[in-house]
Every structure is written in C-alpha cells, then in structure tokens.
Structure 1
C-alpha cells in the first residue's frame, strides 16, 4: 500500500505538474485569446469606423448623385427649351431671309421702274424743250409774217391806188378781231 500511495503521490505529483502546465498553458491561451479579442475588437472598431466613413461617403455620393440627376434633368429641360427656341429662331431667320429677298426683289423692281421713269422724264423734258423751241420759232415766224403783212398793208395804203378796197380786205384778213369790234 505504501507503494500504491507512493505511486498515487507520484501520479498526484505528475498530475499537479501537468495541472500546473495546463494552467500555465491555459493562462497563456487566455492571454493570447484576450490579446486576440483586443486585436479583433480594435479591428472591428477600425472596420466599423471604415464602414461608418464609407456609409457617410455613400450618403454624400447619393446626395451628389441626386443633385447631379436634378441638374441633369434641369439641363435637359433647358436644352429642350433652347432647342425649341433655336428652331423658332431658325424659322424666323428663314422667314426674315425670305422677306429680305422679297424686299430686295421689290427694290430692284423699283430701281428699274425709277430708271424707266427718269428716262421718260428726260425724254419728256427734251420733248418739252423741243416744243418750246418750236413754239418760239413759230412765234418768231408769226411775228415775221405779221410784220410783212403790215408792211405790205402800209405800202398799199401809201400808194393810194384803186386797190384800197383790196387793202382793206387784206387788213380785215390780217386783223379779224379789229373788224369784229367795229361791226
């Protein structure tokens, strides 16, 4: 029994040694676990901080996206409005261009008509001048004929011949207005 007791003491000693080793290994593992837990906690906190930052960035980017989409919509609306205005302006420009061409055509017609009327006016002035010259020439010729007739009448009256009667008739022919007044 002593042997058994010694053997049991030896077993107890081995068990105490083993227990001490297990406790030391357990402490070591606990320390390692606590360090790992601390590292994991730190990493989790770090990851949570990164996730929070990323969520804020996502929120910020979502706001920017919404803002950009509203700006895009506004720009598209503005582009549509400008395209409509441009279309109307282009049509107005075409209408103005056509009207301008019509006005130019009318102006050219008026120029041709003006030149034609100026030529007619020049021609009319020339005709009027020619008629004035003809009238002046005829008046001079009439005056010259009148002077001849009066000279002939005067000669006949001076002669005092029997042709006085003819002289009176000639005088009546030359001045019919005077004869009508005497009558």
Structure 2
C-alpha cells in the first residue's frame, strides 16, 4: 500500500504539475482572449468611428449634391431666361435695323423731294421775277399809253369846241372810271 500511496502521490504530483501547466496555459489563453477581445472591441470602436465619419461624409456629400442640383436647376432656369431675353433682343435688333432702313429710305425720299421743291422754288422765283419784270414793263407801257392819250386829248381840246364833244367821248373812253364818278 505504501507503494500504491507513493504511486498515487506521484500521480497527484504529475496531476498537480499538469493542473499548474493547464492553469498557466488557461491564464495565458484568458489573457490572450481578453487581449483579443480588447483588440476586437478597439477595432469595433475604430470601425464604428470610421463608419460614423463615413456617414457624416455621406451626409455632407448628399447636402452638397442637393445644393449643387439646386444650383444646376437655377443655372438652367437662368440660361433659359437669358436665351429668351437674347432672342427678344435679337428680334428687337432686327426690328430696329428694319426701322432704320425704312428711316433711311424715307430720308432719301425726303432729300429727293427737298431737291425737287428747291428746284421748283427756284423756277417759281425766276417766274415771279419774270412776271414782275413783265408787270413793270406793262405798267410803263400803260403809263406811256396814258401820256399819249392825254396828249391827244389836250391837242383835241385845243382844236376847238366843235370837237369838244369828240374829245369828251375820247376822254370817256380813256378814263371810264372818271366819267362814271362825274355822272
């Protein structure tokens, strides 16, 4: 029995050594597990931080996209408005150009009309001058004829009373207005 007891003690010693070995291995594994869990937890926290940062970045990019799309729509509206305004301005420019051409044509017609009227005015002034000269000539001729008639009347009056009657008739013929006033 002593032998058995010694054997048992030897087994117990071996078992204690194994237990110590397993306990130290277990402690090492627990430490490794805890370290691994801590590393894993740190990685999870780090990845969660990265995910949060990426989500924030996505939100910022989404906001920028919305803002950019709104700006794009506004720019499209502005471009459309500018294109409409440009076409209206182009039409107005064409209308003004056509009106300017019409005004130039009217101006040319007015110049031609002015030249014609100036020419007519020169001709009319020349005709008036000619008529004035003709009038002066006729007035002088009339005065000359009056002077001749009066000279004839005076000669007839000198010729005698018998011819007085004829002189009065001649005078009536020469000056009908004077005779009607006397009558």
Instruction: Please indicate the TM-score interval, normalised by the length of the shorter structure.
Output: 0.7 to 0.9
* Residue 138 of structure 2 corresponds to residue 120 of structure 1: no
TM-score normalised per structure 2:
0.80
What are the ranges of 5 or more consecutive residues in structure 1 without an aligned counterpart? none
Distance, in Å, in 2 between the alignment partners of 1:108 and 1:29 is 112
Distance, in Å, in 1 between the alignment partners of 2:41 and 2:102 is 88
Q: Which residue of 1 aligns with 2:14?
A: 14
* Residue 125 of structure 2 corresponds to residue 130 of structure 1: no
What are the ranges of 5 or more consecutive residues in structure 2 without an aligned counterpart? none
Deviation at 1:9, TM superposition (A): 3.6
1:56-115, CA deviations, whole angstroms, 9 ceiling, x for partnerless residues?
221222122122212212321232232123212211221222122112211221222122
Distance, in Å, in 2 between the alignment partners of 1:61 and 1:128 is 95
Q: Which residue of 2 aligns with 1:53?
A: 53
Deviation at 1:5, TM superposition (A): 4.9
* Residue 143 of structure 2 corresponds to residue 143 of structure 1: yes
Distance, in Å, in 2 between the alignment partners of 1:182 and 1:28 is 172
Deviation at 1:180, TM superposition (A): 7.0
TM-score normalised per structure 1:
0.80
Distance, in Å, in 2 between the alignment partners of 1:121 and 1:18 is 146
Stretch moving more, 51-60 or 17-26? 17-26
